Amino acid sequence: MGIFDFLTGEFIDVIHWVDDTRDTLVWRFEREGHEIKYGAKLTVREGQSAVFVHEGQLADVFTPGLYMLETNNMPVMTTLQHWDHGFKSPFKSEIYYVNTTRFANLKWGTKNPIMVRDPEFGPVRLRAYGTYAIRVVDPARFLTEIVGTDGEFTMDEISFQIRNIIVQEFSRVIAASGIPVLDMAANTADLGKLVAAEISGTIAEYGLAIPELYIENISLPAAVEAAMDKRTSMGIVGDLGKYTQFSAAEAMTAAAQTPNSGMGAGLGMGMGMAMAQQMAAQTAQPHAAHQPGPWGARPAAQAAPTPQAAHAAPPPPPPVEHVWHVAENGQTRGPFSKAALGRMASAGEITRQTHVWTAGQDGWKHAEDVAELAQLFTILPPPPPGS
């Protein structure tokens, strides 16, 4: 083999690209001096396109396959330059690989709230976010309009512009849709398709397409959501009066079940007395209605009970008993009911000078200075004079 044959063999290049970055849209095949040898093998894999640029002019676009870079399979190049030396000389050109796969799970969202006029709530502010997918469908246009001479073009370089286009079209579509805010969650799929269709015309000028666009959430300001929660709660409650009575009964039951609580004991006793009085009133009404008069007839006064008597409200429960805390040696104990303090006084565990406190009292006081507790010590003789 002669030296010329050896050099000719060295001129043959294998041009290919394997991407492992997952975010590269365009990559330029780097060759020193941009010299592509005549007869080089160009490999274009699935999910790729190769754009051939010769002396600054876009010459051809290669779809997936294996190509020999010769003039007989590049009809466009034969019109660009006359090939000397039997079409075997190297030529200065550039090859840009374009990733045509789908870039998915890209994020978009509204930076500022969108003002819309809701038919039920009036003017409201909305925020939204979601995901979208994008792919290159026209490599030549994408290279011409966006990439230029960038040797490595990533998704981050264009995602900001795509997000701005999505937010702009989303704002316009939402404002013109007339869909109530409460019904938007049920129409996110249709809204996503509508926004994608509106965007497609704009990004097609870049050689791109959006095969998917999803609206994950449309939210209202926190104050509006809180008001809606209250409205929902009122709808669930129904009769507010019955709900109030039920809540009070639940609170009294919980307090009565609290161990070592004088308040719970007082509430339990009051609730029991109120229930007993109500049951007695209900029992007495039918008995009085069937009681005969002196001559076998019902008295006129009992002829027809008035509606007020039939629906008489039970008396209120007795006042709640105070519970007390005791301070001794820098530590507190309690709470104790008044009855418990009486037993402690009898046992000598507390004295007149013991500091006590209850809710609503202005600071700690001696037990003898509290009118409600002073009577606990009347059964004991006071300290002798001069003690």
Residues in the chain: 387
Q: Are strands 324-328 and 208-219 parallel, antiparallel or unpaired?
A: unpaired
DSSP state of 299: -
Name the one residue in this structure whose structure tokens are 């709808």.
Answer: 235
Could you tell me the strand order of the sheet in which 41-44 lies?
Answer: 14-15, 41-44, 65-68
Instruction: Please tell me the distance from the alpha carbon of residue 215 to that of residue 171, in angstroms, as a whole number.
Output: 12
- Average pLDDT score over residue span 204-224: 88
Q: What is the mean pLDDT of the chain?
A: 76
Name the one residue in this structure whose structure tokens are 């939402």.
Answer: 174
Instruction: Please tell me the distance from the alpha carbon of residue 175 to that of residue 71, in angstroms, as a whole number.
Output: 56
Q: Answer whether residue 328 shows pLDDT above 90.
A: no
Instruction: Please tell me the distance from the alpha carbon of residue 225 to that of residue 207, in angstroms, as a whole number.
Output: 41
Q: Are strands 91-99 and 48-54 parallel, antiparallel or unpaired?
A: antiparallel
Q: Look at residue 289 in the predicted model and tell me its pLDDT.
A: 47
Q: Look at residue 237 in the predicted model and tell me its pLDDT.
A: 62
Q: Look at residue 240 in the predicted model and tell me its pLDDT.
A: 65
Q: Look at residue 274 in the predicted model and tell me its pLDDT.
A: 60
Higher pLDDT, 8 or 153: 153
Q: Look at residue 258 in the predicted model and tell me its pLDDT.
A: 66
Q: Answer whether residue 329 shows pLDDT above 90.
A: no
Q: 323 and 336 in contact (C-beta within 8 Å)?
A: yes
Band the pLDDT of 367: cuts 50, 70, 90: confident
How many Cα atoms within 13 Å fall on the side-chain side of residue 111? 6
Q: 114 and 125 in contact (C-beta within 8 Å)?
A: yes
Q: Answer whether residue 17 shows pLDDT above 80.
A: yes
Phi, psi at residue 64, to the nearest 5°? -55, 135
| C-alpha separations of 245 from 291, 315, 336 in Å | 34, 14, 29
Q: Kindly report, residue by residue over 264-304, the tens digit of the pLDDT.
A: 555 556 555 665 666 666 665 555 444 555 444 444 445 55
Higher pLDDT, 294 or 51: 51
Q: Answer whether residue 209 shows pLDDT above 90.
A: yes
- Average pLDDT score over residue span 40-48: 89
Q: 357 and 324 in contact (C-beta within 8 Å)?
A: yes
Q: Answer whether residue 219 shows pLDDT above 70.
A: yes
Q: Where are the alpha helices (DSSP H) in the chain?
A: 3-11, 75-78, 139-142, 156-177, 188-204, 222-237, 240-256, 262-289, 307-310, 338-346, 371-374
28-37, 105-114, 127-136 — which is least confidently predicted?
28-37
Higher pLDDT, 383 or 339: 339
Q: Kindly report, residue by residue over 76-108, the tens digit of the pLDDT.
A: 443 344 444 334 445 567 889 999 999 999 999
